[in-house]
Amino acid sequence: MYRIAPSILSANFARLGEEITQVLDSGADIIHFDVMDNHYVPNLTIGPLVCEAIRPLTQAMIDVHLMVEPVDRIIPDFAKAGANIISFHPEASRHIDRTIGLIKEQGCKAGLVFNPATPLSYLDHVLDKLDLILIMSVNPGFGGQTFIPEALNKLRLTRERITASGRDILLEIDGGVKVDNIAEIARAGADTFVAGSAIYGAGKESDPHRYDSIIAAMRAELAKVA
């Protein structure tokens, strides 16, 4: 099963609730929630209050990607605000195992995020505790960047690790995902696809739910994957 996870970083924040409802009505599966602190990454976005505000709008999973340092302090706030999945970068935690435990204690699923230059060796120690692995195919901080091809190899290696573990772990990709490359990314092993500008920048007033055409096009490409 493939899951499409629009990143609200690229949504129109003047009508964020409507944007979230429309993209889910168009067939998206997960809401991806990018949190940046102007410290770990050179940008500043949104926090727990926004998550809390959108939680009543949908039963869909809210996938919170924390690009903040230090990370532990903010995790309980997002859990309380309604996050289902909370993922973080190993570089942002002094004790990765402890941070994963904190997320689980708050009742959320835990994810670990790998930047383009972050080694997969972190998985040697915590794979058995993870529910999601997120491979960044751009350097984090800004939407609309170009997909880094080396991420495909990283996906393949990660998929091998997941398969060998026998565990049910989501393998998510984030950065530069679009209709033209989503099938190739799926063949490399991804099953969950974060797309921001590729979805929110392609909305059509002629679509019943505004984003039907673009999400249908992504689904059609994924259907071609053997």
**Enzyme catalytic residues:** 34, 174
Q: Is 221 in a helix, a strand, or coil?
A: helix
Sequence-distant (≥ 6) Cβ neighbours of residue 30 within 8 angstroms: 3, 4, 5, 60, 61, 62, 63, 192
Sequence-distant (≥ 6) Cβ neighbours of residue 46 within 8 angstroms: 33, 34, 35
Using CB atoms within 10 Å of the CB of residue 50, give its burial: 0 to 12 exposed, 13 to 18 middle, 19+ buried: middle
H or E stretch covering 170: strand 170-174
Centroid of chain to Cα 165: 22
Q: Are 29 and 60 in contact (CB under 8 A)?
A: yes
Centroid of chain to Cα 173: 7
